[in-house]
Each structure stands twice: as C-alpha cells, then as structure tokens.
Structure 1
Amino acid sequence: MSTSDSPRLARAERREQILATATPIFARAGLAGTSLDDIAAAAGVSRMILYRHFESKDDLYRAALQRAAAHLAEAVGDELTEGSVQEMARWAAADPGAFRLLFHQAAREPRFRSEIDELRAGMAEEVRRNLAEVVNDPLWATWAAQLCLTVTVEAIMTWLDLGAPDPVGAAARIDRAAKAVLSSATE
C-alpha cells in the first residue's frame, strides 16, 4: 500500500497504528537501527504524517515505551500478585515486540535507560511489599523481589527467543521458577 492509499483514520487511531507498527521495529533494531522512513513505510504513511503525531524519533520511541508499559500494567493489574507472572507471560506472548522493547531494547538505550530502570524498580518494590509478610528480613525481601523480577523477565525473554513453545506450560514453568526464588528467601 502506498502512503497515498493509506486509509484516513481519526488522529487517535492513526497514532495508535503508528505506535503498534513502530514497537516491534524498535524492539528488533533499536533506536539507532531504526529510521523514521522504516516506520513510515511499515505503517503505510509519509514522514510528514509521523511528524504530525510525534516531534522526533525520540518522541516516538518514548511514546512506544509508554504504550508498552501501559499495556503491561493492564495485563498484570495494579498490584503484582502470585498470578502476575502468568499474566506477564501471556501478555509477552500476545505482544512480544512490546515486551522486548521494555525489557531488552530500551535498557540498552542511554537516553531511555532511566525510564526502564524506574519501571523495573517500581515492579520490584511492589513484589517486595508483598513479600514483607512472609520474609522477615527486609534485605532478603529486597533481594528476592529483585531476583524474582529478573528471573521472570529473563525466563520470558528466553522463551520468546525460542519461539514461544507451549504457551500454557511455559507460563506455569516460569511461575514455578519465580516461586523457587521466593521460596529460597523464606528459608
């Protein structure tokens, strides 16, 4: 489809379409490896249309990160609980580009690293608060929360890299790995 054949969409719909198109491209190639021309061509729009919605490539990247973080929050809920690991795995299976962008690619981008570090710190803090009831030592609760998040994210990433085999069984296995970390903190 040429850019002139692209259907007219409402502003919010076009913005969402561009973000949905840009997310897996950024996740695959990174910020430096992606051009606005790549995104415009994939979205079937002109660069001018991109600039109507985003001031710069950095602005588009930041919006893609914010969208991915919002979708993650919708998937796992406001509070990280026992079921959150499985919900995170399901979300990653449904939107692997967004998961990779948040937890792999953005961490490599110096201009956006602090935003991802803040997201991960908030998630780890939520887990730590939940662990405070079962882990008496605050340092071990912090250790377990950070390690649990790292194990979960890396297990999901590796699973995606392997082609996301057996989605139902994978979520249960990833959940067991996270619970093993938590169990080690309560001993």
Structure 2
Amino acid sequence: MVEEKPEPVRRLPRAQRREQILIAATEAFARSGFAATGLDEIASEAGITRVILYRHFDSKTDLYQAVLNRMCARLDANVEEPVGGFTDASIDGLLQAAVESPAGFRLLFQHAVREPEFKERIEKFRADIIAAAYLQTSGVVPDEALARWSAQLAPVVAIEAIIAWLDAGQPDPANAATRVRQAVMGVIGAAVSSDVHCTLPNPADLEGPPS
C-alpha cells in the first residue's frame, strides 16, 4: 500500500498569507481568549503549519497585537475623527466595522481589556471614545456632571447594543443603526430630563394568575 503524501501548503503572496493568519487568529482569540489559545490552534484554523506562522509573527503576543492593530485600522477606516462628538456617523461606522469583522469587534471591546498585556491600550481607546462623546453631550446636557455621566455611558450602550445585535443574528440590518441611535439617545434624554419618575415593577405584579 502506497502511503499518501499530505498535500503541500499552497504558496500565497506574503501579504495574503498574513491576512489569512490574522483572520484565523481573530476568530480563535475571540473564541478562547489570549491565554487559552495556542499557536498550533491558530495555525490549524488558518490551514498552515506552525513554521509558516512563525515566518510572519515572532510570538503569540506579536500576533495578538497585530490582530488588535487590524481591528483598530478597520475602525479608523469606518469612524472618522469626531468633529461634533460621538455622532450618528460614529454609530454607523461602528456598526459597519462590526459587520465586517464580528469576531474582531467582540475581541476589541469585550476580551482585550481583560488581558493584562493589552489592557492599557484598550483603556486608552475607550477614553478617546468617551472624550468624543463628551463633545456632544456637553452641548446638550446643561449639568456638567450629568454630561460626563452620559458621555461615559453612551458609547458603552452603543457598543453593547451592537454586540447584542451580532449575538442575535444581525436582525433587520437596514434599521440596526437607527435602533442603536435610539438606545444612545435614551441615555442623553435621561441626562437632560429633570422629571424622572421611574420605579421598578413589583416582582409580584409580574407573576401570572395562580394556576
């Protein structure tokens, strides 16, 4: 019986191979986290050998950093520098970046901040978003403390709304941005309104009639 030889890995241009590895690494890191993801797993997901992976990246840390850089570049391409703050266009750009790379979006906003080696960079990224949001909220929320509160909360609401939308299977994509904007405007509306009379329902009131 003649032993079958494994098919050789098809040679790709260096840039194309690097992109292939980054896509696989984004999926793997978003699924299992930095510590629990091995380079062998990433190489297998990319359909290459570990030797080829090392031709492009010196270490797992180097690869993770490249994955974050790739997602940040995607955000830069979709979200323009804020002129008037965290605007409708900002939300459109965030949503487009999430559609283009759902795993990259989750990795950047959910997972990377938990990794000690990358936490400082992600916190700086979040601080920049909050500063952009404050440009907007400070113009419509008279109370400075409430303007800062809403500036911190509005981007969180937008990002979490987008992640929830991804998790739900991206329903009604044509109106997704509008719904995210409505959620953000709810935060700003809460900061502006001085007539807030909200109470949580009594759990007993939510129970159905006795069977």
Give a deviation string over 1:5-29, Cα, whole Å, max 9, x none: 22321x3332222112211211111
Pick from 151, 156, 175 the counterpart of residue 157 of structure 2: 151
Pick from 95, 99, 104 the counterpart of residue 105 of structure 2: 99
Larger radius of gyration: 2
Give the Cα–Cα distance (whole angstroms) in 2 for the partners of residues 155 and 165 of structure 1: 12
Pick from 8, 21, 25 the counterpart of residue 18 of structure 1: 21
What is the aligned partner in structure 2 of residue 90 from structure 1?
A: 96
Give the deviation of 1:123 after TM superposition.
0.8
How do residues 1-187 of structure 1 correspond to structure 2 at under 5 angstroms?
A: 4-9=8-13, 11-79=14-82, 80-187=86-193
Give the deviation of 1:107 after TM superposition.
2.0
Give a deviation string over 1:133-172, Cα, whole Å, max 9, x none: 2233332222111100111111111111122211122221
RMSD: 1.8
TM (normalized to structure 2)? 0.80
Give the deviation of 1:3 after TM superposition.
7.5
Q: Is the 8 A contact 1:93 1:167 kept in 2?
A: no
Give a deviation string over 1:87-137, Cα, whole Å, max 9, x none: 312321221011011011112212212211111111111111233222333
In structure 1, runs of 5+ residues without a counterpart are: none
Q: Is the 8 A contact 2:75 2:93 kept in 1?
A: no
Give a deviation string over 1:39-87, Cα, whole Å, max 9, x none: 1112122212222221110110111011111101211222242221133
In structure 2, runs of 5+ residues without a counterpart are: 1-5, 194-211
Give the deviation of 1:31 after TM superposition.
0.8
Give the Cα–Cα distance (whole angstroms) in 2 for the partners of residues 100 and 143 of structure 1: 24
Give the Cα–Cα distance (whole angstroms) in 2 for the partners of residues 78 and 5 of structure 1: 41
Give the count of matched residue pairs.
Answer: 185
By percentage of residues, which structure has more helix? 1
- Which amino acid in structure 2 is aligned with residue 22 of structure 1? A
In structure 1, the residue corresponding to 2:117 is in which secondary structure? coil
Give the Cα–Cα distance (whole angstroms) in 2 for the partners of residues 3 and 71 of structure 1: 34
TM (normalized to structure 1)? 0.90
